[in-house]
Structure 1
């Protein structure tokens, strides 16, 4: 009977280890500014995290410069849910840490995309929103901040509410 008890305990421990290793992320990443390659937000109150493929995180940023203006585009994709987010902001002469950018500015591009069974919903008519840069270091290639916005989709005749958004990207492509 002792052998059976020992085997049962070992089997139970293995089950606990197996199931705890299979847990998915179920919370927003912490707000950081260290280049940890994190991104997350709530979409209509539901957790939304990027899910990349083939070893990538599903999140990256791209630096852009035009004459006296510089900017970044932040991309996040969730291949499992067939949804994505894109935020592009610009400033003269450069983006500024600590600045709050009004995402209703028509010079910026903001879009949340969601595929449904019948069509794609492109939420890009921003009715309110902001993005605050907490870190912008082009030399260290770190871009971090928080954001929120509401946007309308003409095709789907619907509004999406994005809250508690945060990003900490450690590789800005140029």
Structure 2
């Protein structure tokens, strides 16, 4: 069950962009076990098409990945929760190919790598997202 949301505020922080994608699926023979993956990108100072970089030096650029496996039968009990936060290392590129505020169009590509500074049990300490793409209309 995929879902995607985006917002763009040209008046906040020189133009603030946020993209959030969610994918929900069952990966087990037990029909009560579900996995939810979330990818989020947030960036400030976005006013036109171009290349924007994710790195720790620019706190306006954030990339996040979360995966949670849960048992729905037990009142949504979380079995595994892997996440990356603002203190973790991130690198990558967001390439905006179209940004038309009047028509509400946003398009581009992205890729990033997140490296967790303190590894979590049963979770990868590095996540690499490649070949990300979005074509969004906000109306």
TM-score after normalising by structure 1? 0.58
Higher helix share: 1
Structure-2 residue corresponding to 1:102: 53
Larger Rg computed on CA atoms: 1
Higher strand share: 2
Distance across 1 between alignment mates of 2:89 and 2:104:
28
Return structure 1 stretches of 4+ with deviation > 6 angstroms: none
2:65 to 97, 112, 127: 112
Secondary structure at the residue paired with 1:107? coil
- Note the aligned Cα RMSD (angstroms): 2.0
Structure-2 residue corresponding to 1:32: none
Asked if the contact 1:96/1:136 (under 8 Å) is kept, the reply is yes
Q: Which ranges of structure 2 fall in alignment gaps of 5 or more residues? A: 26-34, 71-78
Once the two structures are superposed, the pairs formed by residues 127-138 of structure 1 within 5 Å of their partners are 127-138=90-101
Higher RCO structure (Cα 8 Å, ≥6 apart): 1
Distance across 1 between alignment mates of 2:124 and 2:132:
23
Q: Which ranges of structure 1 fall in alignment gaps of 5 or more residues? A: 1-50, 53-57
Secondary structure at the residue paired with 2:60? coil
CA shift, 1:144, in A, is 0.6
Distance across 2 between alignment mates of 1:69 and 1:136:
14
CA shift, 1:109, in A, is 1.9
TM-score after normalising by structure 2? 0.71
Q: In the comparison of the two structures, how many residue pairs are matched?
A: 113
Structure-2 residue corresponding to 1:145: 108
